[in-house]
């Protein structure tokens, strides 16, 4: 391997007031990519190991289709008959956006952690605070998959093994009332928490063995878990068990004065419901971008990055289209079974009960496994087998997230954006410190009584991440026009991705609060929590100077002093427009 001669004479970068760095000209050094690919450098620095190809990342990301289980019931119970269309539109958006992520990932084959890391490099030249926001928002959005997934898996197990009124299903220790965020929201310890925590620990020990062992395990789980999802999606199409009146007319969900289900109107309230559905679906359907989290661990990142995200995307298109169609075709919208009970003052003491997609256990997600198993047959054996396989699907989603989210924290730490301890790895190359940070955070989230509120609040961060990194596509094009791109997306797809970035924040402003009045504000607070964390790391620990590798990535060699940023004021215009859109649409929806 021939070392690359790098001319070091970088002057002070005015935007960040960095101290001038003087290094002798013509000194032979290893650039970030070359050093990264060198075996002795890798082992010497105990970094992540290059042990997988694109198929390994595909199987690690194969847990994403299982995310349809997280919110399919809630979307159906909230939006009504257009729910199937919500999923089709959302996965279409996600597939278009994936091409931007694939391009920017190819710019940095020596980095791990996904699109948020590659996008952070684009934004750091314009604002030190936007870069960590990109990485943090991606982590905040993805990390709750661990708690929600393990909670749902625990719920499936308890539902299958015990009666609803069994003591194991009813005991609960309430720790904290969070009613100020959403009515009825609490932190509690119950059987769901205990079983969910045990499942999280199981996944951790698998992940602790490094990405290669994780990829092999997820391949086995993927084959076992994806089979029922695909069968569930295909069987109704073959049997024709999909009544037309379960899907049409495409009217938003509405109720009359006594609570009966009726066809709604496409007025403001109807579009707010549709926006709320698209908002929460994005958390699942856009998730296959996690396939580019493993660029730093690909044997050949130039070839593997695009293949990983493209084929992961095709799998998700199939599952996110077929499974919601089958689910809705089997259950139908539903009608009122028991009317609401009110007291003398007119206050509701007992909410109305509905069947079909409007049933309470469908909204919570706990009854989704049984509903899906009924599609394949009514025998107890088939029902239990499907429940077991859907639990495996949820474990697969947890593994996918633990792999991706921990590597996002790892790279954010290595780049000087997040606390230093998060970049520590074990002898297998697994980022164990970041994994434990994930675990601790999710043990707390697992105690929450309403997983849909948690998912919606976390999704605010995901939409922020999505906006920043789709815009990073054109920023990189302008600021790094001559950098090698193993995959270069057609310009029209970069334009469409940027357009969808603004569509997504519009949907967030309109629809976030249908999942709870405090959803949007809670999500914004969660996103903003990174600012003091970054300030401590950058200004106190690192004395205002980024690590050497990050400086290399920020450096734009378009003129002699490295000060050129061709995007100019456009990134600031995009940020200002986003703030205005979110404010106006949220006010309109309220």
pLDDT of residue 135: 84
Contact 190, 171 (CB under 8 A): yes
Contact 37, 296 (CB under 8 A): no
Q: What separation in angstroms does the CA of 354 have from each of 254, 260, 261, 264, 411?
A: 13, 9, 9, 17, 47
Q: What is the DSSP string of 22-55?
A: ---TT-B---HHHHHH-HHHHHHHT-----B-HH
CA distance 136 to 139: 5
Query: Phi and psi for 561 in degrees, rounded to 5?
Result: -105, 5
* CB-CB neighbours of 440 under 10 Å: 9
Q: What separation in angstroms does the CA of 502 have from each of 89, 231, 295, 585?
A: 15, 36, 27, 12
Contact 455, 279 (CB under 8 A): no
Contact 51, 403 (CB under 8 A): no
- Pairing assessment for the beta strands 186-190 and 172-177 based on DSSP bridges: antiparallel
pLDDT of residue 106: 76
pLDDT of residue 29: 32
Query: What six digits make up the tokens of 503?
Result: 């569509």
pLDDT of residue 206: 72
Decide: helix, strand or coil at residue 128: coil
Half-sphere CA count of 157, side-chain side, radius 13 A: 19
Query: Phi and psi for 449 in degrees, rounded to 5?
Result: -85, -15
Distance of CA 548 to the CA centre of its chain: 29
Within the chain, what is the greatest distance between any pair of CA atoms?
A: 87
pLDDT of residue 574: 96
Contact 365, 373 (CB under 8 A): no
Burial (CB < 10 A; 0-12, 13-18, 19+), residue 502, is: middle
pLDDT of residue 24: 32
> Which CATH number, 1.20.1740.10, 1.10.520.10, 1.20.1050.140, 3.30.160.270, labels domain 14-589?
1.20.1740.10
pLDDT of residue 36: 39
pLDDT of residue 584: 96
Q: What share of the chain is helix, strand, coil (3-state, %, to 5)?
A: 65, 5, 25
CA distance 209 to 135: 24
pLDDT of residue 403: 72
Q: What separation in angstroms does the CA of 348 have from each of 67, 258, 261, 342?
A: 34, 12, 18, 4
pLDDT of residue 468: 94
pLDDT of residue 17: 37
What distance, in Å, lies between the first and last C-alpha atoms of the chain? 61
Decide: helix, strand or coil at residue 298: strand
Q: What residue segments make up the domains of the chain, in order of their start?
A: 14-589
Query: What six digits make up the tokens of 225?
Result: 């878990």
pLDDT of residue 205: 77
Contact 417, 538 (CB under 8 A): yes
Give ∠ CA 40-45-46 in degrees, rounded to 5: 100
CA distance 309 to 577: 29
Query: Phi and psi for 255 in degrees, rounded to 5?
Result: -130, 150
Counting as low any pLDDT under 50, the low residues of the chain are 1-47, 113, 556-563
């Amino acid at each position: 391997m021939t070392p690359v001669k790098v001319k070091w004479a970088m002057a002070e970068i005015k935007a960040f007031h960095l101290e001038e760095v003087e290094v002798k000209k013509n000194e032979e050094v290893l650039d970030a990519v070359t050093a990264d690919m060198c075996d002795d450098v890798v082992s010497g620095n105990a970094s992540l190991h290059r042990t997988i190809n694109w198929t390994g990342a595909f199987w690690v990301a194969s847990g994403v289709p299982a995310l349809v289980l997280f919110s399919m019931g809630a979307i159906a119970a909230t939006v009504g008959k257009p729910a199937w269309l919500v999923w089709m539109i959302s996965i279409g958006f996600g597939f278009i956006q994936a091409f931007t992520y694939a391009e920017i990932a190819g710019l940095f084959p020596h980095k791990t952690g996904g699109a948020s890391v590659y996008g952070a490099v684009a934004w750091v030249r314009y604002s030190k605070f936007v870069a960590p926001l990109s990485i943090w928002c991606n982590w905040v959005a993805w990390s709750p998959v661990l708690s929600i997934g393990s909670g749902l898996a625990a719920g499936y197990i308890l539902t299958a093994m015990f009666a609803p009124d069994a003591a194991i299903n009813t005991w609960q220790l309430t720790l904290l009332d969070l009613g100020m965020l959403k009515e009825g929201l609490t932190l509690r310890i119950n059987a769901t928490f205990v079983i969910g925590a045990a499942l999280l620990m199981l996944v951790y020990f698998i992940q602790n063995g490094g990405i290669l062992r994780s990829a092999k395990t997820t391949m086995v789980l993927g084959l076992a878990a994806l089979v029922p999802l695909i069968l569930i999606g295909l069987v109704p199409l073959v049997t024709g068990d999909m009544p037309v009146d379960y899907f049409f007319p495409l009217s938003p969900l509405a109720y009359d004065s006594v609570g009966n289900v009726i066809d709604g109107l496409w007025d403001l309230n109807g579009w707010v419901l549709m926006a709320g559905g698209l908002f929460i679906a994005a958390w699942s359907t856009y998730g296959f971008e996690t396939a580019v989290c493993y660029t730093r661990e690909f044997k050949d990142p130039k070839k593997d990055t695009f293949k990983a995200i493209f084929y992961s995307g095709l799998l998700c298109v199939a599952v996110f289209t077929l499974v919601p169609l089958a689910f809705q075709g089997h259950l139908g919208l539903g009608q009122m079974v028991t009317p609401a009970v009110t007291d003398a003052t007119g206050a509701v003491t007992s909410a109305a009960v509905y069947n079909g997609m409007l049933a309470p256990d469908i909204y919570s997600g706990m009854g989704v496994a049984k509903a899906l198993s009924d599609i394949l047959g009514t025998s107890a054996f088939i029902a239990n087998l499907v429940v077991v396989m859907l639990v495996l699907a949820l474990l697969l989603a947890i593994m996918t997230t633990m792999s991706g989210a921990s590597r996002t924290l790892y790279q954010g730490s290595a780049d000087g954006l997040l606390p230093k301890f998060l970049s520590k790895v074990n002898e297998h190359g697994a980022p164990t410190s970041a994994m434990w940070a994930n675990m601790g955070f999710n043990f707390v989230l697992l105690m929450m009584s309403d997983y849909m509120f948690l998912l919606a609040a976390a999704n605010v961060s995901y939409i922020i991440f999505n906006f920043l990194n789709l815009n990073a596509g054109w920023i990189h094009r302008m600021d790094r026009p001559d950098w090698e791109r193993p995959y270069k997306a057609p310009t029209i797809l970069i334009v469409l991705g940027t357009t969808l970035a603004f569509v997504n924040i519009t949907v967030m402003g309109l629809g976030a609060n249908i999942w709870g009045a405090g959803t949007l504000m809670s999500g914004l607070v969660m996103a903003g929590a990174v600012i003091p964390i970054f300030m401590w790391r950058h200004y106190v620990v690192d004395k205002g100077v980024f690590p050497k590798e990050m400086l290399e990535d920020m450096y734009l060699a378009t003129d002699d002093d490295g000060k050129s940023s061709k995007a100019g004021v456009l990134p600031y215009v995009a940020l200002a427009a986003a703030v205005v859109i979110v404010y106006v649409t949220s006010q309109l929806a309220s």
